Structure 1
Amino acid sequence: MRDVVAQGMADSGGTRWFDLKDSQTGDIRRVFLWVPPGEAPADGWPALWLLDGNAVIGTAVDVMRAQAFWPTGTNLGWGVLIAVGYPTDAAYDSFRRSWDLGPPPGQSYPPFAADGPRVRTGGGAEMARFLLEDVRGFLAGQVALDPARQSLFGHSFGGLFALWLMFTRPDAFANWIAASPAITWEDSFLLQHLDRFDAGSHRLRVHLSAGEWEGDALAPFQAGGPEAAERRAEKARARTVAAAQEMATALSARGVATRFEIYPDETHMSVLPVAVNRALRWAFALADTQARPASPQIKERT
């Protein structure tokens, strides 16, 4: 240890966190906040909100710190990062996120553990109110934000929640990023919201994505594994890549500026840091070169 001259705990580049009580239910959620250096713009900072905050805030902060200082090389401008998670050191609280990120009406499922409580979904409206009222009200006393330049990112269940919130509250954010969204969850009820969706006067931008190995084929390291048959059956049910591409095409047809991407050689979980990087570019790009019609030419590797 004699070559070690200093040591300490990493602080994710100055990220602060606050355990915030839900004004209606009393539940505690953890809100992570990272603010760029310097003075806020006259209209306030643009902001990217991220769901599953415990799992993504470190990646998001590192992307910002590594890229925004060199805008001519990255096209990334400075912005505030707001990530919402739970009071835990783990990446996820699977039980609570099932409720919070599962849009209504929801269902009930067997416990994660043999002696645990049944898992419930359907609390999305509660989570939406917490984000749009409690967290926004709290942040008003912490940082100046530009209300016209707010973005929301979600992965998997978070992507499902983001799309549902866009369909029901298109005024809530200007930019929406749904990575590997669970569109077919609970009998594809989300498509009923798509059928009724009207963005009205809101000029929305939507980025949809999935990993290459979320399509029909298994990742090479999974293909010969003991769970291969079960994984293929789940892929056939979830249709993650196809459902996301179909959603992108449907939104583009409705006049929404939409982009769809497949990230090569990524699975449902390994795709997360790639998707977070892309979310920052979607939210804070200085020159808008990304909004374009959905990209049907992007195909999976065979």
Structure 2
Amino acid sequence: MSGLVEQQFPEWALLPNTRYFEVDSARAGARYAVWVTVPPQYELNGEEHYTLVFAPDGNGMAPGAAPRMQMLSTDPIAPIEPFILVCIGYCGKDAGRTLAVRARDLLPPGEALPEGVEQSMSKIVAMGLLDQEGADLYLRHLRAPAADKFLAFITDELFPMIAAQWRVKPGDHGLFGYSYGGLFAAYAALRRPTLVTRIGAGSPGILAGSSRIFDLYRKDREDDVDHGGRRLHLTVCETELTVPGYYQAAIGAGVSEFLMLAGTQPLKGLTLTSRIIPLESHATGGLASWADYLRTCLPGQPGRSPLAA
């Protein structure tokens, strides 16, 4: 009997129907990793065109969300619309410091720094999450984020590449993000890209009282901007609302403030829905929020699943 023989990990072992790419962005001035996952029926339905769903934080989203997407596409109880998942993450040196690099891409320009964030960098280094160079980079990106450039990369550069290789519908596509990715999703919804209209913001890091999200929202309200045809689904984990501590202040308070603002001063044409994800914490709520987004914003046709009776 032979011992363990280490091999290079094959994508197909974890991510069926997935291809991996790397792409340089002129808009963002960065190189990104991209995972493209097609639904199980993609090859069988040779004439059908599909909705895209973009997801940042791809290094974690691809191995977590792609298998869940495959299962939900054939769920006979709560089916979803078949779609193509496009996860966007980091490669090379950036793959080892995603915590720092994602702050550049996911925070709106001019976003306020959370209180005490500079002091927290030493804790991040002590926990081994980043080395000192990475912590310095994290703080630098927090001070000068560029979600506008990352959004332009998705809509102006990445989408045409995907549409050139896969059968893609012309519009009404999706975007889902969690945590700072959720903050990016909320920002994208208020920037109104015509390409992306079904947006999910899971536990978004909206800083109560000072986030740029509130400025953008109130400006659209004052200008009577039409958000017709756009949907924003916002989720928050139960413990982010109920358990005193960091996430109650960093997530729960801001989400509550945003929902109160949106409920009392709705934007013209915007369909806003929300849900509390029961029991979950910020650390565990990502995939539950992802499934809830899909069932809310990409509902399927009952009986369409091949597993339906």
- TM-score when normalising by structure 2: 0.76
192 and 186 in structure 1: CA distance in 2 versus 1, 3 angstrom threshold = same
- Computed over aligned residues only, the root mean square deviation of the Cα atoms, in angstroms, reads 3.1
C-alpha displacement of 1:193: 0.4
SS of aligned partner of 1:147? coil
Q: Which residue of 2 aligns with 1:285?
A: 299
Any gaps of 5 or more consecutive residues in structure 1?
A: 219-230, 289-302
Q: Which amino acid aligns with 1:50?
A: A
SS in 2 for 1:174: strand
Q: Distance in 2 between matches of 1:92 and 1:251?
A: 39
1:236, CA displacement in angstroms? 3.5
Q: Does 1:35 align with 2:38?
A: yes
For the residues of structure 2 that align with 1:168 and 1:180, how far apart are their CA atoms?
19
- Distance in 1, matches of 2:239 and 2:264, equals 23
Tell me, yes or no, if the aligned pair for 1:32 and 1:53 is still in contact at 8 Å: yes
1:1-302 residue pairs with structure 2 within 5 A? Answer: 9=10, 10-24=13-27, 26-36=29-39, 37-38=42-43, 44-70=49-75, 72-87=76-91, 93-106=98-111, 110=118, 111=121, 113=125, 115-116=132-133, 117-118=136-137, 119=139, 120-121=141-142, 122-184=145-207, 187-197=210-220, 198-200=224-226, 202-218=228-244, 231=245, 235-236=248-249, 238=251, 239-246=253-260, 248-249=262-263, 252=266, 254-287=268-301
Give the secondary structure class of the aligned counterpart of 2:300: coil
Structure 2 vs 1, CA of residues 29 and 217 (structure 1 numbering), >3 Å: closer, same or farther?
same
Say if 1:211 and 1:271, in contact at 8 Å, map to a contact too: yes
Q: Which moved more, 1:124-133 or 1:101-110?
A: 101-110
For residue 167 of structure 1, report the CA deviation from its aligned partner. Answer: 1.1
The alignment of Structure 1 onto Structure 2 pairs a total of residues equal to 271
SS at match of 2:257: helix
Query: What are the superposed Cα offsets for residues 266-296 of structure 1, whole Å, 9 maximum, x if unpaired?
Result: 11121001011122223431259xxxxxxxx
Q: Is the 8 A contact 1:211 1:267 kept in 2?
A: yes
Higher helix share: 2
Aligned residues of 1:101 and 1:127 also touching (Cα < 8 A): yes
List alignment gaps of at least 5 residues for structure 2: 126-130, 303-309
- Structure 1 range deviating more: 202-211 or 35-44: 35-44
Q: In 2, Cα distance between the equivalents of 1:167 and 1:127?
A: 15
Task: Check the 8 A contact 1:48/1:280 in 2, yes or no.
Answer: no
Q: 1:94 to 1:125 in 2, by over 3 A?
A: same
User: For residues 250 and 23 of structure 2, what CA distance do their matches in structure 1 show?
Assistant: 37
SS at match of 1:84: strand
- Cα deviation digits, residues 88-133 of structure 1 (max 9, x gap): 6969701110111011024676455473224223211111111111
Note the C-alpha offset of 1:38.
Answer: 2.6
Q: 1:47 to 1:41 in 2, by over 3 A?
A: farther
TM-score, normalising length from structure 1?
A: 0.78
Q: Check 1:76–1:203 CA distance in 2 against 1; reply closer, same or farther (3 A cut).
A: same
Q: Is contact 2:50–2:167 with CA below 8 Å preserved after alignment?
A: yes
Larger relative CO (CA 8 A, sep 6+): 1 or 2? 2
CA gap 1:237/1:176 in 2 versus in 1, 3 angstroms: closer
Q: Provide Cα deviations, 1:9-45, integer angstroms capped at 9, x if missing partner.
A: 5231121111111124542111110112335675721
